[in-house]
Chain A
Amino acid sequence: MTVANAIVVQNLTYSYGEGALRRPVLKGVDLTIKAGEIVIMTGPSGSGKTTLLTLIGALRAAQEGSVKVLGQELAGASQRQMIQTRLDIGYIFQQHNLLKSLTAAQNVAMSLELRDGLTTAQRRDMAHKILADVGLADHVDKVPAQLSGGQKQRVSVARALVAKPKLILADEPTASLDKVSGQEAVNILKKLAREQGTTILLVTHDYRIHDIADRVVELEDGIITPAKPA
């Protein structure tokens, strides 16, 4: 499926709470990201970045407005459609969120187990290959506790990319890393995403990594402020 626009968000509003406690977070967001684009979203904390990311990632049901991700309208989508959409998205979280009981290769392979038609050996080979691509060829059989913070985040980059998703969503992927390992992780992410033609939407406060983006958008007080060139 080739879609010119990976993400089309139109007039999206979202509120937390009920009745008098109702607190709007997104107040009419419009955002279009073309397929293959790498976009960084910034904004002060509490501006709704994470909420927007979870709505685009089909992790939260949209209330009003339209969220089209990879051609699928998520506003009013069924739980089943949302789970289906998640399969096409790779996630990188602020915390690595690796499964502590699994080795690096097994963690990466978890992304592949939902895909039909792969043998165990194929999944292992794909996991080993992508771990080599992120520079962890010697660490495939280590569990997260045996890896450094930067290595763990690179495993989660590998996990997000291994199934060749059409879209990568990342929330503060460098926040828990030092400058060098953070830079390394996002550079690998950019390189592999470019090779696969993957779209990336990355939320970050870390201005040091703004240079990887094609475009930087800013979310402030629930709306996207006019785009600035990267």
Chain B
Amino acid sequence: MTEPLTGAARAAGSGADTAPGPVPGPVPGPATGSPARPGRPPRPGRGDAARRGGAAPYLFLLPAVLLFTLFFAVPICYTAYLATRRIKVSGLGLGRGSRREVSAGLDNFATALADGELWAGWLRVLGYGALVLAAMLGLAVLFALLLDSATVRLARFSRIAIYLPYAVPGVAATLMWGFLYLPSLSPLRGLLDADLLGPGTVTFSMANIAVWGGVGFNMLVLYTALRAVPGELYEAARLDGGGEVRIALRIKLPLLMPAIILTTVFSIIATIQVFAEPTALRPLTNTIGSTWSPLMKVYRDAFVTGDLYSAAATSIVIAAISLVLSFGFLRVVRDRAFGEG
């Protein structure tokens, strides 16, 4: 799965897709290309090198480990710790010492799991995510195939035009779309006689923003993967009498599968973490509550209602659910994606 990507990177880097450029996937690299049997002897040699190097490998590793610990492991541990604490106030809660942090055991987790609002948020995000995933990845595949077809014109321009929205920061894009949606300000209003921020439409409007912003990036990933497909395959297909459409469906799409799965996993994670769009749209409409998405609830608990502890517990629950969803998806599709390897 890394092979086509690196190959494609090389192809993109050279800018030309002439014959000798991309390397077909299964060609072994020169390093491992040395005789197969004597593959054993070199191993002790490498071990010797490591021993001779002494601390060098660890030294190289150190920055990564340090950064991982500082910015990843420690915050996660601190969050886990916070999730088991709570504030205990006595009396009026004013004045010194009337507020103590005490252990809460697993109460915060129990509250988070039993919170109807959090689950309602999950449901909303699920609906939103289904829309986004289907529309965004569908369009990305379509555009990538179109751009890769032999007959396309203005390929470079289209590629940039489709990619460009991805370069617009999410909040800016949301505000721009928000203004387009507002009844009295929108130039679309004349064309569409619907309240685009109404209770029934707001999910679609929000999904539209995500699709608009995300198609370009996913298209580029897929397109890059397509460029790495060896030209001989197409040549063979054409000799066999396959037209562009058949090549796209029978050859390109199956070859794209690993890349599609990769972009799907990324998109699932991004959807679960949806925060900026609803938060930026919220002041413009009264159809988005403060707990519209699970992450918005975390933000609200931590910074609006001032309960860091339950926010920590909720974010751990969210992380667990994201893990289950993304790994679950990978498990389901693994055989299809990587079965051939």
Chains A and B form a bound pair: no
Binding site for A on B (CB under 8 A): none
Binding site for B on A (CB under 8 A): none
